[in-house]
Amino acid sequence: MKTDVEELSPTRVKLTVEVPFEELDHAFDVTYKSLAKQVRIKGFRPGKAPARLIDRYVGRGAVISEAVNHAVPELYNEAIQKEELFALGQPDVEVTKLEDNDELAFTAEVDIRPKFEVEDYKGIEVTVDNAEVTDEQVDEQIGTLRERFSTLVGVDRPIQDGDHLSIDLSASVDGEVLEDVAVSGYSYEVGTNAMLEGLDETLRGMESGGEATFSTTLVGGEHEGQEADVTVTVHSVKVKELPELDDEFAQLASEFDTIEELRQDVRKRMGEVRRLQQLSAARDKALEKLIDSVDIPLPDAVVDEEVNRRRQSLEQQLAQGGLTKEAYLESQEKTEEEFDEELASGARSAVKAGFILDQLAIQEDLSADQSELSQYVFEQAQRMGVSPDQLAQHLVESDQIRVAFTEVVRGKAMDLVLAEARVTDEDGNVIEQESTEEQAAKAAAAAAGEALEVIEDEDEAAEPAEASAENDDAKAGDAAQ
């Protein structure tokens, strides 16, 4: 087999492959065996007809076409490996020469990862927020805990913000009562402005048993946007009563005997959270600096694919939440153009980060073993709310194990960058890289257990380049027709 590579751009090449017919014997053997099972030739059992009769029965041209469709994907992958190309996506294949018993020649245009080295990844300097936990923050956290153990008690006074009410609502337009708008026994906290415009203003100063009418614009439902007269009736007025902040409360709300022990535990836990937040922020900032330090071209098709993936993901989330894109843009105070630019910028950064981490993994000979893949699956399963064995089985059946492998290896490359970085807080204190994150990861891996054994051993040995350069053989074969 003879191969030649023409660089169309730093991120796209044209591969020319020329193969003598004698090197296609395997493809023809597979083709004849397949056709022999499909055709029925008198005097021969299914699968036993000789090649010369199959040529005559289905036509030599059809046999050659089938053999070429089988051979091209294998020849393409062989050529990619021979030329050490990091192919991305599907190739555009064109057969340029096909002469029986002579030669097969084809071209394949494909996007490739640009060739580069990651040089300045050691010693990146980043600054993160302080991890110190203040007394005010501890008080706020304990206050939130007190809220969870609060009780509602009735009061006999005019309504004010923060009161919890039981109310009825009814509405009418031009004197016609709207049955689908009425609600009864609805629990509402005054001051949240979570319902109709004008409701909170009307409720303030009313008392239990009171009734009042106000005008407002209806939101949602069949009568959305119409001006209506809304009548609100108050059945009860209650206030939230918080428990005393004493040892009795500590025993009620926790496993501790005293309020001081509870405060110390809250401070410790908040400190651990801040520590993890520091490490996460350091990771993000180090990656940003790494991306900025490397200047490489990006294949448009790969960026466009990432843009579409992100757009579809957002649209699915909005649909699940019952929101429109217009409402989302309004809540974010963004125009359509600003949204598209932000989406494209994020996609470019994600693609570039992937290229950089893949290359760093190759340079440093990073890989992933069984336990690391199991840990990844376990963590993803927790986020998705499914069992680890279900997710592992899905990854195997959908041929997505290599995607998991790639993510694990990229994570290890980023760990290497962070380990070599100099991370300080706002006060100049150096943040140690020995992480609680690592300990949590080990614990998660141990908890994954035997449920993840469906991940086959051969997947562990895949190289980083292979993990990101999957090619669909069937599509390559069809393109050769």
Same domain, 217 and 271: no
Tell me, what's the pLDDT at 401?
86
| Boundary (domain end) residue, out of 112, 135, 163 | 112
Using CA atoms, how far apart are residues 74 and 476, in angstroms rounded to an integer? Answer: 9
Strand partners, 158: none
Three-state secondary structure call for residue 4: strand
Same domain, 68 and 184: no
Tell me, what's the pLDDT at 475?
37
> CB of 167 within 8 A of CB of 233?
yes
The domain spanning residue 436 has which CATH number? 1.10.3120.10
Using CA atoms, how far apart are residues 204 and 132, in angstroms rounded to an integer? Answer: 41
Same domain, 273 and 234: no
| Boundary (domain end) residue, out of 112, 130, 161 | 112
Q: Is 221 a domain residue?
A: yes
Q: Is 130 a domain residue?
A: no
Using CA atoms, how far apart are residues 58 and 52, in angstroms rounded to an integer? Answer: 10
Same domain, 278 and 223: no
Residue 84, domain extent = 2-112
Q: Is 144 a domain residue?
A: no
Tell me, what's the pLDDT at 75?
93
Tell me, what's the pLDDT at 439?
44
Nearest to 90 by CA among 469, 481, 352, 406: 469
Tell me, what's the pLDDT at 473?
40
Same domain, 358 and 433: yes
Dihedral of the alpha carbons of 418, 422, 425, 430, in degrees to the nearest 10: 110
Residue type, 7: E
Tell me, what's the pLDDT at 45?
63
Same domain, 322 and 467: yes
The domain spanning residue 197 has which CATH number? 3.10.50.40
Same domain, 357 and 393: yes
> Would you state the structure tokens that stand for residue 201, as one six-digit string?
């203003």
> CB of 422 within 8 A of CB of 430?
yes
Q: Is 274 a domain residue?
A: yes
> CB of 66 within 8 A of CB of 35?
yes
Contacts of 367 (CB under 8 A, 6+ apart): 361, 409, 460, 461, 462, 463, 464
Same domain, 289 and 415: yes
The domain spanning residue 108 has which CATH number? 3.30.70.1050
Same domain, 233 and 312: no
Same domain, 276 and 349: yes
Using CA atoms, how far apart are residues 428 and 124, in angstroms rounded to an integer? Answer: 15
| Pairing relationship of beta strands 422-425 and 125-128 according to DSSP bridges | parallel
Tell me, what's the pLDDT at 321?
83
Using CA atoms, how far apart are residues 29 and 49, in angstroms rounded to an integer? Answer: 13
Tell me, what's the pLDDT at 466?
39
Q: Is 135 a domain residue?
A: no
Q: Is 163 a domain residue?
A: yes
Tell me, what's the pLDDT at 449?
40
Q: Is 146 a domain residue?
A: no
Tell me, what's the pLDDT at 228?
92
Q: pLDDT tens digits, the chain, 481 residues: what are they?
A: 999 999 999 999 999 999 998 888 888 888 878 887 777 776 666 656 777 777 777 788 888 888 888 899 999 999 999 998 989 988 999 999 988 888 999 999 999 999 899 988 999 999 999 988 999 999 999 999 999 999 999 999 999 999 999 999 999 998 888 888 889 999 999 999 988 999 999 999 999 999 999 999 988 778 888 899 999 999 999 999 999 999 999 999 999 999 999 999 999 999 999 999 999 999 999 999 999 999 999 999 999 999 999 999 999 998 888 888 888 898 888 999 999 999 999 999 999 999 999 999 999 999 999 899 889 999 999 988 889 888 888 888 887 888 899 999 999 999 999 999 999 999 898 988 654 345 444 444 444 443 344 444 434 434 433 333 333 343 334 433 3
Using CA atoms, how far apart are residues 181 and 277, in angstroms rounded to an integer? Answer: 45
Tell me, what's the pLDDT at 470?
38
Same domain, 87 and 43: yes
Tell me, what's the pLDDT at 101?
83
Q: Is 159 a domain residue?
A: yes
Same domain, 196 and 297: no
- Predicted TM-score (pTM) of the model is 0.69
